Structure 1
Amino acid sequence: MMEEGTLERAHDLKPSPSDSDMYMLYFKGLVCKETTELLVGFGVAILDQDENLLFQMKGPLHGSGITDLEAELIALKRGLTEAVSMGINHLSICCDHDQIFELVMGRSAPEVNNIALLVDDVQRIRQQLKSVIPVLVTDQNHQASFVTKLAMEAIDYEISIRRSMTCSICFNNNFKAEDIFSSFLCSHRFCKKCVKRYIEVKLLEGGVPRCPYYQCESMLTLSSCASLVITPRLQEMWEERIKEESVPMADRVYCPNTNCSSLMSKTELSKSIKQGCVKCTMPFCINCKVPWHDNMSCNEYKRLMGTNLTTEDKKLNLLANRMMWRQCGKCKHMIERSEGCIHVTCRCGYSFCYTCGAEWTTRRGCSHKEEMDGDLCCDAI
């Protein structure tokens, strides 16, 4: 779902309305199709019963393929949210869009899912007010023209920014508007080439892509990155990373089949030690994190493996030593550190020292942790 971009407010006065005070909300969402890239802006104004302006707001809207109807509903949603935050109890919603008026009145049903979700949001926020009266006005109405102007100003400002835009990653400012990517939650902008490469690296590292701007925590989504033409392989990887983040670290279980490695949650598995992968169906031991060991207990298997390694295990250990890989002390997966701090966190959530393998804690740790400079440590992670 699309969200507002950078907002500009004015006359942000907080009224002290009584139960009988009636206020008016004017709103407008505009889609500009005259440029090489779709630009969307919105304007909101709240007036008292004497038509004195109490609040106004304008800003861009960012998202892939926003329609006129979506832009109008997002503007209305934003206006209603502000009215509630201002303590208003009675409100007239002044619409100059016939279809919006019919949707708000409940006379027509949304035809597509994203419109239905926005209408649900509008009705939910509307219920927080004591009374709401939708009013159909003409686009010649003075206040309707005023919020239209606010929306146009937001679009004009967006155009001016894009013309003088510099990518925050490569610092290049010599590209066309269609080569710009904007994170719709925070409005930070980059060239598409840099963002696409950043997403690929982030996914390969096992993370979920966020806005690449320094210290920005806004999440990127597959829908917001549609213009980047993400490959099917990266899309699948992205969906897997999202699934990983939804499962608490302590509950994550990975299939030991090297050709699968599918993620499962302990809460979705039975309490049996012997499990079957939900994807490849291979049976495995949830305690030992290995393919199922027939006719052996976990202790017997561990004793046997300690003294009787297979040829494949010996090759893996030799390769791990040569490549300086480390084995997670909890889930036993091999980990390779490409750069950065010696404090590493496995995808299962276990943190340890990459130099000696000791568990990493915030209060105390191995001697290597004590020797580290504070600015190199990642204890906050």
Structure 2
Amino acid sequence: MDIDDCELLTLLSEQRRELTAAIAADSDLDFAFQLQMQEAIKFTSQSSSSSSSSASHQPPLLLTEVTEAPFGIAILVAEEIDKFERERLDREFVEAENRRIQENLNRLIHDQIFARQILDVPENEWRNTGDYFEKPYGLSPVTNEEVFRVYFKGLVSDETFGSSDTTFAAVGVAICDSCDCCVFELGKPVVVDGGGDVAEMEALIEALTAAVALGLKRVHVFCDNNTVYQYLTGKGQATNNKIMTLVDQLNLIQTKFAYCGSFLVRENNIKFAYKLAIDAINSEATKFAESATGRTLLEQCNICFESVYRGQMFSVNKCLHRYCFSCMRKHVEAKLLQGQLPKCPDEKCNSDLEIESCKKFLSPKLYDIMSLRVKEASIPPIDKVYCPFSYCSALMSKTEIQEYTPTSSSTAAVGIGKTTCLKCHRHFCFNCNVPWHENFTCLAYKKCFPYQSVNEAKLNSLATQNRWRACIKCKNLVELAEGCYHIYCRCGYEFCYTCGAEWINKKPTCGCPIWDEHNIIHAGQNRR
């Protein structure tokens, strides 16, 4: 604490003592005044009782009407001093917290530099002198040359309360070291006069301001918004006064760094900052609901049994079962990772989840995966076509391909399956499922190249050794672990595991045995 702060505290203490004495004196005078008023009222009452009964009586003077006046300006000044004192204590707490974070950051930088120096020591030298190799913290100044990573996210969300909609905005900030270990995080609501780009700019400025406060000189800023990235790199032009003001603030903050690199990444790369912003919006929405209604609008989730604000509960459209956003997000993610299309979590319910209604609790990455699963489920297995280019792998149906690619009778006659990917627009053969084979018909290409790659040849060899069977319709490989030889493929095709012949109406069309005693006994032993 410096000299100015000490003098300020002394002055505040003196004023507080003087005000306390003034209030006490004022209270004593008021007490004496009350006694005098009581005596006067008592005397007036006795005098009025001796007057004529026909005289009209004035209403008695109430004591509270005289004595309910405030003590005076001394109390107001005292309240202002107390408010100033609270603000000063809060400011000191924030400054102390910033110093603690700065100290931890300096220790982290020191330890990382020391660790790199240890790795540079030759093995022979380390065996001889490693036990004496040390570099205590604080003996030399920390040179902060490490490049830290700055992640940020600004979100705007419309929440429904009864029949009205309310807009909330929040920012999330995460600052990490070069190993992606978080050293600072922040999630807080903000007031945004504009759309999502304004919220993103607010989050970016908040992140860089925090980096400056931590004493960082070299940073990498990771952004998932292309518009904000253009502002960050100085290539974008502001479209309104609000954005222009924020861009000016951004340019000013950037000058405080020795190095400030910018990277445009996918939203999945900033998911930590995204979660901080989401949590801040949820917290603010809950507080708003409680203050607006005067009571807590809570509902219990039937999965986690936690009491959750009703606005954060998801209702399945068809069956109206309700679960919290957190449980629904975990349920949908688990099903998608298993390759399944998620349904209502109730074990006795089979209602489908509508993807648009799930958008409110899914992250953008999960939403894209679920969209792909919905499209996969809508296309019969025998009609599915994937782009053979590894960086694309877009899912298409044969119907889409036929509509998109013009065909002629001559090309169809010679068995040419040349088509164009709907996503990457590159040519490939959907008959052979390979990049387009120029100067080869499909039959000639398959004779020359029976396998698309070395890995496919290995897979076929492994399938032959283990007696796996491929479905004739969808080419999916099946392994019989136990049970009968009747195989029901995921595409709906039924066949015999022994010879591959089709089953029709639950009956085989071949003479192969339906089951093997070894497989049935093996299954029974496993159950015991």
Structure 2 length as normaliser, TM-score? 0.32
Structure with greater helix percent? 2
Instruction: Select the structure of larger CA radius of gyration.
Output: 2
